[in-house]
Structure 1
Amino acid sequence: MKWRTALITWDILSMIGTIAFAISGAIVAMEEEYDILGIYILGIVTAFGGGAIRNLLIGVPISALWEQGLFFQIALLSITAIMIFPNRLLKHWDRWGNFTDAIGLSAFAIQGALYATGMNHPLSAVIVAAVLTGSGGGIVRDLLAQRKPLVLRSEIYAVWAIICGLVIGLDLLSSAWELILLFVIITAFRVLSYTYKWRLPTKGLKMR
C-alpha cells in the first residue's frame, strides 16, 4: 500500500483517536477527583502520549507534535465537552468507557503503523510503532492515575495493535477503505475481548 493513498485515512484516524483518548483521559481524571487543570492535563497526555513515545523511538523529533495545532484544539474541545456533560450520564462510563478506549487503540495503532511505513522502517519497527502509538497514551494515563495499565493485564489489549502493525507492515491493504475496515474489525475484537473476558495465558509466582 502506498503512503499517499493513506493520507485522508491518516487524518480521519488521527481525529478519531485524539477525541477518544482525550475523553478517556478526562474521564479517568474525574474518577480520581482531579481538579480542572488536572483533567485537561491528563486528557492531553492521554491523547498525545503515545505519539510522543513513538516519535522518540522511530527518529521523529518530539517537536513535531506541536505542529498538530488542529488536533490539540480538537482534544481541548473534547475534554471541555465531557466536563460539561451531565454527571448522571457520566455514571454510565463503565459501560462505554472501554469502547472509547477501544476506538483510540485501533485508530492510533493504525496511525502509528502508517507513520512507520511512510518512513520505510522494517516490519519490526512498524509493529513497535503500532503498539506504542495505540497503547502509549493509555499507559501514561494509567500510571499518572496510579492504576495498573491495561496493556499489562492478562486481558487482551496490545495484541490487537500488533495485528494492525503486521497487516500494514506486510502491505496487505491497498486502499483507504480497507484501512477503515481494519479499524472497525480491530475495534470490534477489542470490544469482544473485554466483553467476554478473553485472556492471555498468565504465570504467577508466589515468593515465600
Structure 2
Amino acid sequence: DRQTDKHDALIKLCQYVFGKVFVNLSDVGKVSMCKRIMKAETSSSGDVPFYKIGTFGKEADAFISREKFDEYRNTYSYPKKGDILISAAGTIGRTVVYNGEDAYYQDSNIVWIDNDESIVLNRYLFYCYQMQPWVASTGGTISRLYNDNISKAKITVPSIKEQKLIVGILDRFDTICNDLSAGIPAEIEARQKQYEYYRDKLLNFKKLEK
C-alpha cells in the first residue's frame, strides 16, 4: 500500500509540475473481470441479466439467480458504479458505463480498469477509450484484447481540473449530436466530425522535447 501511495503521489506531482503525465493504463488501476459463469448456471429467464460478448451493450438473453449474483458480487471482482466496461472480443474496445444496476458480465470478454478516480476520472477514461489506445492481439483465429494489451496501453492524463474541463466540452458535443438525431442528417454528420476533431485535439498531447 505504501508503494502504491508513493507511485500515485509521483504521478500527481508530475501532473502538477508539467500539467500532464503519460501513463500506462496499469498505472491507473488493475484490469478486472467478473467470476466465470458456467452455462449451466444461466437460464433464459431469471433475476439478474448476464451479459455475454454478443449481448454487451444490448438486451441480455441469459440470466443468473439472485443467490449466485449476490455470492459472486460480494466474493469476487465486480465493477463500481461509474467504471467503464470494455469489450475484449467481438467488437473490440466497445465501452459501456456501469451505472450500478444489478447485472453480471462474461469473464475475460468484458473487463474494466479498477479505477478510484484519484488520478483519472472515469468519464475522461471513457473518451480516451474511444481513441482505441491499445493494440489487439491477432495471433489467434480472431483478434482480441488480453489484459496485457490493455495494461500497456498509454494515455495522457492532465490534472483533474483540466480533465473536468475536457470532459465538459466533449459531453456538450456528445449531447448536441444526440439531440440532433431526429434532425437534418447533414447537420448531424457535420457536428459529429466537429466533435471528433476537438476530441482528438483535446486528448492528443505531444511529449516535450528533451
TM-score of the two chains, using structure 1 as the length reference: 0.26
Find the structure with the greater CA-based Rg: 2
Higher share in helix: 1
Where relative contact order (Cα < 8 A, 6+ residues apart) is larger, the structure is: 1
Higher share in strand: 2
TM-score of the two chains, using structure 2 as the length reference: 0.26
